[in-house]
Amino acid sequence: MFTLTIKTSSRTQFLDITDEIKRIISKSGITEGIALIYVPHTTAGVTINEAADPSVVHDMNRKLSELIPVEKSYRHAEGNSDAHIKASLTGSSAHVIISDAMPVLGVWQGIFFCEFDGPRTRQAHIKLISG
């Protein structure tokens, strides 16, 4: 297992971690298999979406904030219930096929770490399965 340490700089943020995933796959020597990316946090997630145009993740973040606003009416006392809900919607894991020692992604796709309660220092665990 490999672990990425990710430092976020704002409360909500989508960070493209595709290059780090590629580096981990390359370093492993695995040419065919699956990469599992898991985020062990209840207020952060991971998603695969368009990486070519940064306005896409901006729009995703904005729309999530509109749908699930930061407000005081949640029961959870820590003040970050919106972050828990957003993390549940994005999910805590993603998997990608590995072929020819590269993640199989669409032309425009990237892998994003999604921060919803930052800034913080976070982790993403990557498990590579050969096959």
Angle between helices 81-90 and 54-67 (to 10 degrees): 130
Residue-range domain boundaries for the chain: 2-130
Question: What is the CATH architecture assignment of 2-130?
Answer: Sandwich (2.60)
* 20, two tokens: 């780090």
Q: Give the list of residues 6+ apart from residue 104 with CB closer than 8 angstroms, or none.
A: 96, 97, 98
Q: What is the pLDDT of residue 43?
A: 98
In degrees and rounded to multiples of 5, residue 60 shows phi and psi of -60, -45
Cβ atoms of 46 and 37 within 8 Å: the answer is yes
Q: Give the list of residues 6+ apart from residue 17 with CB closer than 8 angstroms, or none.
A: 4, 6, 37, 46, 111, 112, 113, 124
Q: What is the pLDDT of residue 73?
A: 83
pLDDT average per 10 residues of sequence, the chain (131 residues) = 97 97 97 98 98 95 93 82 96 98 97 98 98 89
Q: What is the DSSP letter of 64?
A: H
Q: What is the pLDDT of residue 79?
A: 81
